Amino acid sequence: MPRQPRVNLPNVPQHIIQRGNNRHICFYQNSDYPVYLDKLKEYAQKYDVQIHAFVLMTNHVHLLMTPKTEQGISQLMQSLGRFYVRYINNHYNRTGTLWEGRYKAALVDTEHYFLKVSKYIELNPVRAKMVKHPASYPWSSYQGNALDKEIRLLTPHACYINLGNTQEKRKANYRALFNDEIDQYSIQQIREFTNKSWVLGSDKFLKQIEEQLGRDISIAKHGGDRRSQEFKGK
C-alpha cells in the first residue's frame, strides 16, 4: 500500500515523533543531547519553524512545532536527521542508519489539543518511569515552559501565552496542568494519530484543514477509528 503524503500547512502545529532504528538508542551519552538541541535550534531558525515543546528520550524524540512555510518541518527534520546520523556515526565509529524510516507527524488542533499534546510530550519520562516528575528530567521543554530555565530554542505559542498576563502566571498555570494525569483515552489517541499521521482535531478543525488543502483528507483523519467501539469504551 503506497504511503500517504504528509499533510503540511503553514502556521498549523505538528506533533513529531522520530524513533531510533529498531527502537535502538539514538543518544549514547549525556553529551549527545545538547548536540541535537543545538542543531534543532539552528535548523528551526534556518527553516522558520517555531519549537514549542520537546523531549529527547533514549531511543526517540517528540517535538511540537509550528512551521511558517509548507515545507519547513520537512526541511528541518531532513537536515537535522542527516547531521545527527553523521555525528553519531563519526563519534562512535559506527555505520548505517540511525532513524527508523520516516518521522511520524500529526497536525494538531490548537483549540482542543495543543496544551494536551505539550503535556503528553513532557510527561514521557514519567510514563517511562525514568523520573517521578517532569521537572526532574533535563532533556525536555518542561523546565522552560514551567520553571525558570531559559531555553532559547523555545517559542511560546498563543495557547501558552493565553495562560496568563505575565510570564510568572503563565508558568504557574502551565504547572497546574500537570496536577492531573492525562486520561488513557487521550494518551492512546495522541499516540495512534501521530504514529499513523492522521489529523488530531475536532470535526470543525478537520473541515478547516480540508478547505485549506482543497481536498478530502479522509484517510488522514480516519474518523471511523475515532468513533470505533474501542474508543467509545474508554
Size of the chain in residues: 234
Least Cα distance to 156 among 145, 166, 169, 146 occurs for 145
The pLDDT score that the predictor gives to residue 225 is 42
**DSSP per-residue codes, 118-170:** HHHHHTHHHHTTS-SSGGG-SSBSHHHHTSS---TTB---HHHHTT-SSHHHH
Residues 6 or more apart from 202 whose CB is under 8 A from it?
109, 111, 112
Residue showing cell 480540508: 210
Backbone angles phi, psi at 122, to 5 degrees: -75, -15
DSSP bridge partners of 84: none
The pLDDT score that the predictor gives to residue 218 is 62
CB 55 within 8 Å of CB 141 = yes
Domain parsing of the chain, residue ranges: 14-183
Least Cα distance to 64 among 101, 19, 109 occurs for 109
DSSP β-ladder status, 14-19 and 49-56: unpaired
Which CATH number among 3.40.50.2020, 3.30.420.40, 3.30.70.1290, 2.60.40.10 corresponds to the domain 14-183? 3.30.70.1290
The whole-angstrom distance between residue 136's C-alpha and the CA centroid of its chain comes to 20
The pLDDT score that the predictor gives to residue 215 is 83
The pLDDT score that the predictor gives to residue 186 is 95
DSSP bridge partners of 16: 63, 105
The pLDDT score that the predictor gives to residue 5 is 65
The pLDDT score that the predictor gives to residue 193 is 94
Least Cα distance to 145 among 55, 12, 13 occurs for 55
The pLDDT score that the predictor gives to residue 177 is 97
pLDDT in tens, the chain (234 residues): 445 567 889 999 999 999 999 889 999 999 999 999 999 999 999 999 999 999 999 999 999 999 999 999 999 999 999 999 999 999 999 999 999 989 999 999 999 999 999 999 999 999 999 999 999 999 999 999 999 999 999 999 999 999 999 999 999 999 999 999 999 999 999 999 999 989 999 999 999 999 988 888 765 544 434 433 333 333
The whole-angstrom distance between residue 90's C-alpha and the CA centroid of its chain comes to 27
For 214, other C-beta atoms within 10 Å of its C-beta total 6
Cα distances (Å, whole numbers) of residue 31 to 14, 66, 139, 143, 177: 27, 27, 11, 18, 31
